[in-house]
Amino acid sequence: AQVDEVLEKYRSDKATLIPVEGRPAQLGDMALVDFAGKFADAPEGETPAEIPGGEAQDFQVELSENQFVPGFIQGMIGMNSGETREVSVQFPDEYSSEELAGKPAVFTITLKELKEKELPELDDDFAQEVSEFETLAELRQSLETRFKTDQENKTSANKEKAISAALVQLIEVEIPETMLDREIDYLLNQQAIQLKNYGIDINQLFTEENMGPMRERSRPEAVDRLKQSLALAEVAKLESLSVETEEVVEEVARVRKQFPKGDFDPLKLMEFVEEDLLKQKTLKWLEEKGTIELLPEGSLTPKEEEAAAEDAEISEEAATSVVDVEVVGEE
């Protein structure tokens, strides 16, 4: 189903727009419109106020049910080119603008042009146009492999999250403030990198005034991360789990090949890789020794997911560890 949805989107993106004659607007059409919106309600004796940013000319919109404010597209169905119509809509309660959230409104819409999509044939020529593959079969196989890999990675990440959450329930430890400060520094640094990649000026956010509250907000996550690391390290120690030097060298080489321009400190890279490999080996050991129930994604409410993590059990003696957790991520 996912493959078919992606292919249909590719077809829609490559569609040719053909002018519509002799029929009114219907779902799937492309419309060129002018519109202006006003609030439906106003104090007695006053004219309804215009909606900020609620006006446009020569605006192209696809007549799809998920477009625009609920009621806008539905109100255009059946319109003919050149027709003007008033359409009543209701902004959702959770609308992004507080000024508009939950408010009724009326849009005056003029349909200027109407076109329909002529979709290309789903064949080998189409596959060559939208991808590097020669045949449609190869494109389908590539998409299926990608979705399968994505699902496997997602399920693996959810397993790791569930096992780590179960471990945190076990461990009672006093975390030194210096260690906690370093972890908070790491989390804030990662956040700064992400924001910078989005083009956000981090100097305006990471001010001296903001740093205190930001560090406090990051503290719970830092504590959980450190508890998980310490718990996994204890399991690895009790079960005598380790990684071979050859494994570390091989993974370091893979990282350097993947990031050829990376300016890595050789010793720190080796240390990081060794820690990560040991973590993965420990998680795999726990998964093999434990009982994991896979549930369809979305089958648990947020409260049920929280309860599942709290009810997860791991024996205190790692040699006979039993992990009983629920993992969301597979159909």
Express as a percent the part of the chain with pLDDT over 90.
50
Spans of all domains in the chain: 17-41+48-118, 157-328
What confidence score (pLDDT) does residue 206 get? 86
Residue 303, pLDDT above cutoff 60:
no
pTM reported for the whole predicted model: 0.56
What confidence score (pLDDT) does residue 329 get? 44
Q: What CATH architecture does domain 17-41+48-118 belong to?
A: Roll (3.10)
pLDDT, one tens digit per residue, over 146-189 is: 999 999 888 888 888 888 777 777 667 778 899 999 999 999 99
Rounded Cα distance, 22 and 80, in Å: 9
| Element containing residue 331 per DSSP (H, E) | none
What confidence score (pLDDT) does residue 164 get? 78
pLDDT, one tens digit per residue, over 38-95 is: 999 888 888 899 998 899 999 999 999 878 889 999 999 999 999 999 999 999 998 8
* 17-41+48-118 and 157-328 agree in CATH topology: no
Cβ proximity of 161 and 155 under 8 Å: no
Q: What is the 3-state secondary structure (H, E, C) of 75-118?
A: HHCCCCCCCEEEEEEECCCCCCCCCCCCCEEEEEEEEEEEEEEE
Q: How many CB atoms lie within 10 A of CB 224?
A: 14
Give the tokens for residue 296.
């369809």
Rounded Cα distance, 136 and 120, in Å: 13
pLDDT, one tens digit per residue, over 139-156 is: 999 999 999 999 988 888
For residue 294, list its beta bridge partners. 327
295 — pLDDT class (breaks 50, 70, 90): low
CATH fit for domain 157-328, picks 1.20.120, 1.10.150, 1.10.3120, 3.30.1370: 1.10.3120
pLDDT, one tens digit per residue, over 311-324 is: 444 444 433 333 34
pLDDT, one tens digit per residue, over 207-248 is: 888 899 999 999 999 998 888 888 888 888 888 999 999 999
